Every structure is written in C-alpha cells, then in structure tokens.
Structure 1
Amino acid sequence: MGVTLKSITRENFEAVIALEVAASQRDYVADNLYSIAESSFHPTYQPRAIYWGGEVVGFLMYESFHHNERPPVYNIFRLMVDRRHQGRGIGHSAMQCVLDEIKAQGPFERIAICYVSTNQVARDFYASLGFQETGMSEETDEVIAEIRG
C-alpha cells in the first residue's frame, strides 16, 4: 500500500478532522480543524490529507513564499499521523511525498521545518529526510531545520 497526498475536499474533510494523535503528542501539533480553518485565510497554505491504502490516515500542511526574482521558500509546519496508524512508516512516506510535490514545482531556495527542541523523535525523523538544523526561531523558540535547493 502506498502513501499519497490529496487536497482537502468536502469528501475527506470529516475524516481529516476526526484524526487524533497519541495523548503524548498533543502538545506538538495543532488540531486539524484549526489548521484547515487557518488555511482558508492564507492563500499560500497548502493543506493535504495523507492517504494510505485508500484511507485517510494523516494530515500535513505547508506554505510557500515567492520572492520577486528568487526561487520560492517553503515551510512545512503541520504533520500528523493518526494514533492508530503510527509506527508503519506513513509519516516518513508522507514527508517524502510532500518533498517530491515541492521539488516538482521547480527550483527552490529552501524547505524549512520547525520542532520543539526537546522532541528527539522529531529531530531524528527530520534528519533522516535530509533536514539540517540551522538555528532557533526567535518567535517560537523552536529548532529550525532546512533542506537547501
């Protein structure tokens, strides 16, 4: 079974907002309903349902910043896999899908993510995908990691 990403639609909305992370992960990711609502006010936000074997099993969202004459910058700032589907490599495959989606849009300056510095699982996960830590966000006090284009 392969992992795919699809836009949020009327057909998958209810399934996406019903997804839950494990109790220990609730402090690390925003609620999917909030994220989808947020995306309706920000045209640069790209929410995606994560499908595995035809079933909605997760959610992710990224944004793009297009500068006048420079390649775009991307920020992946939401990723969750439902607690019932964790431990199967779905998150890793979904991240690979979103990286492929971004790269297919053409040259880019960088793809960035942020995570809480105490979240060692996130640190190891993103490093396995090629993200390299570049500093700390002054706004959120989170680690910033990037893939350079």
Structure 2
Amino acid sequence: MEVLLQPVTRKNYEQVCELEVSKEQEALVAENTWSLVESLFEGYESRAIYANKELVGFFMWVHETSEKTSIWRFMIDQKFQNKGIGRKALDLALNEIKQSTKLREIEICYNPKNPVAKDFYSSFGFTEVGMDEDMLAVINV
C-alpha cells in the first residue's frame, strides 16, 4: 500500500474536514475543520494523508522553535484504521520534520485514556516525559 503526505489545498480541504474517527475516539481527537483554521491563520504545517491515492487522514505540526517541533494533530479516518496506514504516515511525517537542520526534539501530546497511543508512539522512539491534561512524549533527534 502506497502512503503519501500531500499539502492540504483548495481541492482537498473539504474532504479533509469530512474525515471522521469512531464515536469512541471523538473525545480524543480535535476536529479537522478547527485544525485547518489554526493551520491557515497561524502558519502551521498541515498534510493530507493518502493511501493508494485515497484521502484517509490528516496531520498537523508546529515548529515551536528552530530546535523543537510539536505534532498537534494526527488522525486516520475510522474506515481506514488498523491497516498500517497510520504507522507509515507517522514515519513519513517524522522524516519530513527531521529535515530541519537545527531540530533537537519532536514532541507529541495524547490523551492518557487513549488505549493504543502509548505503545504506538513508543514504537517510534517517543518517551513519555510528563503529564498535565495530556501525556507529553518526546523524541530527541
């Protein structure tokens, strides 16, 4: 299965907004519409996730400083979960983020009640470093 990250554009933004997670996941993931508004007005990086040329998910990250990037949004539509797409997409995103020459740290926050997040992110090298409302995990580059 070919997985690609592509820019969110005038041609695909409505489809990105229509992507959905399961009812059980809704409290764990922000809505894509709100994320795209943030991305547009704050200059955050956003990507549409495609699998075999079909739109299946969404990513957004923020360059906090030249040394730190935070992944703020990552979702795969409920119809495409548990197929390995998220794993391939996160690998692609991390490779793109790591192109920043001064980068030292990539962080991600997730709801500690999310049953798969800890194992999934730790398999990429993220280490949990603390919690307030959400769990914070980092990779040192």
TM-score (norm: length of structure 2)? 0.95
What does residue 138 of structure 2 align with? 146
Q: Which amino acid aligns with 2:108?
A: I
Q: Which amino acid aligns with 1:50?
A: I
1:53 to 2:45 alignment: no
Deviation string 1:123-143 (CA, Å, 9 cap, x unpaired) is: 111011110011113xxx111
Q: Which runs of 5+ in 1 are unaligned?
A: none
1:38 to 2:38 alignment: yes
CA-CA distance at 1:106 after TM superposition: 2.0
What does residue 111 of structure 2 align with? 116
What does residue 6 of structure 1 align with? 6
What is the 5 A alignment of 1:85-124? 85-124=80-119
What does residue 26 of structure 2 align with? 26
Counting aligned pairs with the same residue, the percent is 43
Give secondary structure in 2 for the equivalent of 1:134.
strand
What does residue 81 of structure 1 align with? 76
Give secondary structure in 2 for the equivalent of 1:114.
strand
Give secondary structure in 1 for the equivalent of 2:120.
helix
Give secondary structure in 2 for the equivalent of 1:97.
helix
Cα separation, 1, equivalents of 2:15 and 2:71: 21
Cα separation, 2, equivalents of 1:99 and 1:142: 21
| Poorly superposed stretches of 4+, deviation over 2 Å | none
What is the 5 A alignment of 1:61-80? 61-66=60-65, 71-80=66-75
Q: Which runs of 5+ in 2 are unaligned?
A: none
CA-CA distance at 1:38 after TM superposition: 1.2
Q: Which amino acid aligns with 1:62?
A: W
CA-CA distance at 1:119 after TM superposition: 1.6
Aligned length: 141
CA-CA distance at 1:109 after TM superposition: 1.6
TM-score (norm: length of structure 1)? 0.90
CA-CA distance at 1:39 after TM superposition: 1.1
Q: Which amino acid aligns with 1:119?
A: N
CA-CA distance at 1:120 after TM superposition: 2.7
Q: Which amino acid aligns with 1:129?
A: F
Give secondary structure in 2 for the equivalent of 1:120.
coil
